[in-house]
Structure 1
Amino acid sequence: MPTAEARIATERPSRYLVQLCKHFDNKGRHLIHRSRAHALPDVPTDQIHVAWTDGDGVLRLPWGQCTLRATPGLLRVRVEADGQENLGRLQDLVTTHVGRFSRCDPLRVDWQPSP
């Protein structure tokens, strides 16, 4: 199973972890009421599962999983999927949302393959 990791330097790792998890949890519960443009493609609403604390989070989609961990000065993100195409989808999803949530003070997301 292909995996990749990103270590995102930030003074507020827990804030971004919680924001990402709440966003996807909300998408999973309320996707029906949103426009199609904001929907995740090919993802039925009952197949988005999110769990988190201030320090750890997990996002499960039909095509992969994203695990987040907040440590001092760093948000660690690990994505794993059943193929390279789906791994890329997860990486793009996380990168896009981190970029959107950090517009005022942009964060850099550099993906590295996991061993």
Structure 2
Amino acid sequence: MSGTDAAIDAARLPGVHRVADIATERASRYLQQLAKHFQHKLPVTFDETTGSIAFDGGTCAMAADERALTLYVVAPDAAEADRLADVIERHLVRFAFRDEMDINWRAG
């Protein structure tokens, strides 16, 4: 599944959407780190270029290519979408401490 396919799938889910496109040459690495971290407690599916994390309050779909990691958060309301985006962002920043990450969430 390409990043475009993941966006289409996430866009079809009902709820409030948040999207972040993060420029990095290590997108696949960070996608896999996020997935492996959360799979210990949550339902997770992933490969080198796509992933999905099912949180109690929503879902995070992920897509990686050679230039960027794209994150798609879908939740029932804005507060939960913002909370999940914050959780994902805090973990990603920890994993990518050697890189300067510019993470800007927008409504999707």
- Distance in 2, Cα, partners of 1:17 & 1:100: 13
Q: Does 1:19 align with 2:13?
A: no
Kindly indicate whether residue 18 of structure 2 is the aligned counterpart of residue 4 of structure 1: yes
How far does residue 72 in structure 1 lie from its aligned partner after superposition? 1.6
SS of the aligned residue for 1:97 comes to helix
CA distance in 2, matches of 1:105, 1:79: 22
Q: Which runs of at least 4 in structure 1 moved beyond 3 Å after TM superposition?
A: none
Match of 2:64 in 1: 70
- 1:108 aligns to what? 102
Where structure 2 has 5 or more consecutive residues not aligned to the other structure, the ranges are 1-14
C-alpha separation between the residues in 2 aligned to 1:62 and 1:13?
A: 25
Which of the pair has more CA radius of gyration? 1
Identify the residue that residue 59 of structure 1 maps to in structure 2.
Answer: 53
The alignment's C-alpha RMSD in Å is 0.8
Identity across matched positions, percent: 33
Give the match's secondary structure for 2:39: helix
Runs of 5+ in structure 1 lacking a partner?
29-47
Aligned partner of 1:95: which letter? E
Name the TM-score, length of structure 2 as normaliser: 0.84
2: CA distance, partners of 1:105 / 1:61: 26
CA–CA separation in structure 1 for the residues paired with 2:98 and 2:56: 32
Secondary structure of residue in 2 paired with 1:105: coil
- The number of equivalent residue pairs is 94
**What is residue 90 of structure 2 aligned with on the other side?**
96
* C-alpha deviation, 1:61, in angstroms: 1.0
